[in-house]
Amino acid sequence: MTGPLDPTAIGVFVALFALVTVLGFIAARWKRGDLGKLHEWGLGGRRFGTVVSWFLLGGDLYTAYTFVAVPALVFGAGATGFFAVPYCIVIWPILYMVFPRLWSVCHKRGYVTAADFVRGRFGSRTLALAVALTGVTATMPYIALQLVGIEVVIAGLGLHLSANLAGIAIPLPLVIAFAVLAAYDYTSGLRAPAMIAIVKDTLIYFTVLAVIIVVPAQLGGYGHIFASVADAKLLLPAATAGSLGAPSAYATLALGSALALFLYPHSITGILSSSGREVIKRNAILMPAYAVALGLIALMGYMAIAAGVKAMPAYADGFKAFGPNFAVPALLLQSFPAWMVGVAFAAIAIGALVPAAIMSISCANLFTRNIYKEFIRPDCTELQESRVAKTTSLIVKAGGLIFIVALPQTYAIVLQLLGGIWIIQTLPAVMLGLYTRSLHPWGLLLGLAAGVGTGTAMAGALAFKSATYVLHFGSLAVPCYAAVAALAVNLIVTVVASVALNAFTRHHADETLAEEYV
């Protein structure tokens, strides 16, 4: 396929999109429960088994932005983009060892969010509020960035339908897609993205297999692909005598990303929706299959270089300049017939809708449980709680849509960068809190504030264009992912403040029991 507005590609795309829309509404009747209760609407009744959880967590963590951005980074920056592969290997031991404990205590206590756990564990509404606000703030730009996947699909198909509102061009296909998403999320809750994730991952695996077989055959094999890539993009620059260089940045980026991933509200929502501890452990064992797929997806960046694709097609005037983010769609347009382009673009678009749905639901859970019920309406009923969550999920989706339409895409990317730096600062309260009660709630709060402030300052010093900050230890320069450096500050402040506060003040009440963690 070489041109826009191909009826076959658009027809296949629309048909698959219609299929997942129908599934989204049918999901309300799947694993029946009272959707007037928050744990039924926002956690699927905690009844998802191994297979459904595998697809849900995969759909939650491997998003359209991953499908587009990882190969785009390889396309533009080379080997650095492969940091996503070790990071997606490191996360599964963390899932296996740590998060069954969170599931157990949340299941036995009826907690819906990580902030619920922090509130119960440390007896501090203020600390729980800080964790909830950090989660929502870090997730909002992540939702907006899912729209990048749909935007590049719209550009690739040549669909220029838009409306002008106050001088802002609003892509109508994007609005329609998110209106449909909002409708079936409101109706079905977490059951909708769980069911649709099965279709989404099937399409993505089919697309990846097609690309790794067909494209190398067209380009003369993998040997020719790697020979077409400049040496500077094939390997990381070596460390020097005065600097640990790219290897240090690469390692800390992988480590920090792994530590942050399961602290995001949507990741925790996926975990808490599981039917048992063993489901989480089995998924931690099975999930590395996604890391294999991610490595193959990253290789598409090199394929795009070898294929000589352009950043944007000539017929995409009127859309934002996606730059390297259009590398994969351009490769697909150049390599496949129209029907396959429709399938692949549908995989990307659906790959945006599933995580966007889970993210908006998780933000709604946080607002409802840890802000509305805790501070505004402590006496609200279960039905009122569920209605507030449903309404909040609509507002969150609308906010993400406004974000990406009204603001330059760069702003969303900057805030998503900050989101990773911010969310990792909840690690002491959430992850360490699963193992120890010795940290003081005000010490944790001071550490969280210090980590967020330090990480934001580092990103600001880099003009919000990079996540890698160079630390200096004497004459040695150590490039480091800002989130990891800020977390180190957080932990130091938390421990020192906790030791001091524990010496003069008593512990707040811990409503959890030791046997509830196993």
113 by DSSP, 3-state: which?
coil
Of 108-112, 393-397, 398-402, the least confident: 398-402
Whether 314 is covered by a domain: the verdict is yes
pTM: 0.91
**C-alpha–C-alpha distance, residues 187 and 168, integer Å:** 30
Whether 387 is covered by a domain: the verdict is yes
Q: Output the pLDDT for position 2.
A: 45
Q: Output the pLDDT for position 311.
A: 54
Domain count of the fold of the chain: 1
**C-alpha–C-alpha distance, residues 197 and 61, integer Å:** 11
- Residue 36's contacts (CB-CB under 8 Å, 6 or more residues apart) are 382, 383, 386, 387
DSSP run (H or E) holding 222: helix 222-227
What is the domain extent for residue 218? 7-238+256-517
Task: Give the percent of the chain with pLDDT over 70.
Answer: 91
Average pLDDT over residues 350-375: 92
DSSP run (H or E) holding 470: strand 468-473
Of 49-53, 225-229, 351-355, 512-516, the least confident: 351-355
Q: Output the pLDDT for position 320.
A: 45
Q: Output the pLDDT for position 329.
A: 87
Average pLDDT over residues 462-466: 84
Tokens representing residue 158 in the block:
């040549």
Whether 32 is covered by a domain: the verdict is yes
Q: Does 482 score more than 90 pLDDT? A: yes
Tokens representing residue 9 in the block:
């590609």
Whether 243 is covered by a domain: the verdict is no
Q: Output the pLDDT for position 180.
A: 84
Q: Does 95 score more than 70 pLDDT? A: yes
Whether 282 is covered by a domain: the verdict is yes
Total Cβ atoms within 10 A of residue 164: 8
Whether 246 is covered by a domain: the verdict is no
Q: Output the pLDDT for position 489.
A: 98
**C-alpha–C-alpha distance, residues 328 and 101, integer Å:** 39
**C-alpha–C-alpha distance, residues 345 and 149, integer Å:** 9
Q: Output the pLDDT for position 323.
A: 67
What digits encode the pLDDT tens for the residues 311-353? 555 444 444 455 677 788 889 988 999 999 999 999 888 888 8
**C-alpha–C-alpha distance, residues 434 and 420, integer Å:** 21
Q: Does 155 score more than 80 pLDDT? A: no
Q: Does 416 score more than 80 pLDDT? A: no
The type of residue at 149 is G
Q: Output the pLDDT for position 35.
A: 87
Between 149 and 281, name the one with better pLDDT.
281
Q: Output the pLDDT for position 160.
A: 65
How is residue 48 annotated by DSSP? Answer: B
Q: Output the pLDDT for position 317.
A: 45
Q: Output the pLDDT for position 319.
A: 42
What digits encode the pLDDT tens for the residues 173-201? 777 877 888 888 899 999 999 999 888 88
Total Cβ atoms within 10 A of residue 27: 22
Q: Output the pLDDT for position 30.
A: 83
Average pLDDT over residues 25-42: 87
- The mean pLDDT value of the chain amounts to 87
How is residue 319 annotated by DSSP? Answer: S
Looking up tokens 């630390």 gives 471
Q: Output the pLDDT for position 110.
A: 94
Q: Does 283 score more than 60 pLDDT? A: yes
Whether 2 is covered by a domain: the verdict is no
The per-residue b/e assignment along 336-352, b for 16 or more CB within 10 angstroms, e otherwise, is bebebbbbbbbbbbbbb
Average pLDDT over residues 230-258: 83
Q: Does 6 score more than 70 pLDDT? A: yes
Q: Output the pLDDT for position 315.
A: 42
Q: Does 383 score more than 60 pLDDT? A: yes
Q: Does 227 score more than 70 pLDDT? A: yes
Sign of CA dihedral 151, 294, 181, 333: positive
Rg (CA), the chain: 23
Whether 415 is covered by a domain: the verdict is yes
Q: Output the pLDDT for position 413.
A: 60
- Segment 104-109 long-range contacts (CB within 8 Å, at least 24 positions apart): 104/277, 104/516, 104/517, 104/518, 105/434, 105/512, 105/516, 105/517, 106/272, 107/46, 107/272, 108/516, 109/511, 109/512, 109/516
**Is residue 14 left, alpha or beta, with left meaning phi > 0 and alpha meaning psi from -120 to 50?**
alpha
**C-alpha–C-alpha distance, residues 394 and 415, integer Å:** 21
**Alpha-carbon distance values, 121 to 116, 313, 376, 436 (Å):** 9, 54, 22, 10
Average pLDDT over residues 366-388: 95
The per-residue b/e assignment along 408-435, b for 16 or more CB within 10 angstroms, e otherwise, is ebeebbbbbbbbbbbbbbbbbbbbbbbe
Q: Output the pLDDT for position 290.
A: 80
Domain CATH code at residue 385: 1.20.1730.10
Tokens representing residue 60 in the block:
């939650």
Q: Measuring CA to CA, which residue among 255, 249, 224 is closest to residue 237? A: 249
What is the pLDDT confidence band of residue 242, given thresholds at 50, 70 and 90? confident
Q: Does 204 score more than 60 pLDDT? A: yes
